[in-house]
Amino acid sequence: MAIKIVTDSTADLPPGLAEELGITVVPEYLRFGKEILRDHVDISPDEFYRRLTHESIHPSTSQPPPQDFVNTYNQLAPGCDGIVSIHLSAKLSGTYNAAVQAARETINKCPIEVIDSKVVTMGLGQLVVAANALAQSGRSIPQIVAEVNKIIPDVRIFGLLDTLKYLALGGRISKAQALLGSMLNIKPMLTIKDGLLVPAGRVRSRAKGIDILFDFVKNAGALEDLAVVYNTDLDEAKAFVKRLGALYPEDKIALSQLGPALGVHTGPGIIFIALRGKGG
């Protein structure tokens, strides 16, 4: 038996990858008014973005309750030697805390370790895939936890938003800031720092923003993993992957779709870079 890896749907793993690798994904929850849906189970990202942009009700998201993790851990425990559960930054969601609580409540006598990734989207995904490779190689739980914690500082995220509108709807910025940004056609850029998504500049054109993302990868040094994350413009994302092929093997660049948990705040038209440096 081996160590099993668990994550949540904010990891934005490319379609089929979690199943292929045997990684268990616990879905986040979405709420449209009184309607509650499980991310990637009851609603696809494409359907979510259609509803986000066409319906009058602005959705919200919430973390899985501890019982969802208890059920997952109890289901996995009989067939493994232990579980490593890796989740999005605890500063962005209560998902990590729900997983920690569930680990204490799990009935089966199975070692469970929960890790705060301090990142989100494919930055989290890269950590999860790395942890799974370590598990498959026969590493113990303490070895996997130590190695993942060592990798976390090497993971960076940088992204371009198309609009400030959804940051305002989610209360992240004021409506006045969003209106001014729209009038000036400002495109915000975000990164993650100390577990929080923070502003990383603003550009006047989408083309300029994508150039900055390209330079971010160009100046990042040696890379272990690289991913392009989009949410509504697949053709643009594919073209960017092709362009990045000048810096990193194109066939090894993961292409992933941003899920609802972050998309509810970013809105449509995003493009993000997630990379993992080789470290020291």
CB of 190 within 8 A of CB of 199?
Answer: yes
CB of 233 within 8 A of CB of 269?
Answer: yes
Residue 239, classed as helix, strand or coil, is helix
What pLDDT is stored for residue 158 in this prediction? 96
Neighbouring-strand partners of residue 227: 254, 274
One digit per residue, pLDDT tens: the chain, 280 residues?
Answer: 689 999 999 999 998 999 999 999 999 999 999 999 999 999 999 999 999 999 988 898 899 999 999 999 999 999 899 999 999 999 989 999 999 999 998 877 789 999 999 999 999 999 999 999 999 999 999 999 999 999 999 999 999 998 777 765 544 433 334 333 443 467 888 889 999 888 888 898 899 999 999 999 999 999 999 999 999 999 999 999 999 999 999 999 999 999 998 898 888 999 999 999 987 4
Q: Is 158 exposed, middle or buried (0-12, 13-18, 19+ CB in 10 A)?
A: buried
pTM value? Answer: 0.92
Adjacency order of strands within the sheet including 112-116: 24-26, 3-8, 82-87, 112-116
For residue 153, give both structure tokens. 């500082």
For residue 96, give both structure tokens. 């990590």
What pLDDT is stored for residue 165 in this prediction? 74
What pLDDT is stored for residue 270 in this prediction? 94
Rounded to the nearest 5°, which phi and psi values hold at 262? -100, -35
Enumerate domains of the chain plus CATH numbers. 3-153 (3.40.50.10170), 155-277 (3.30.1180.10)
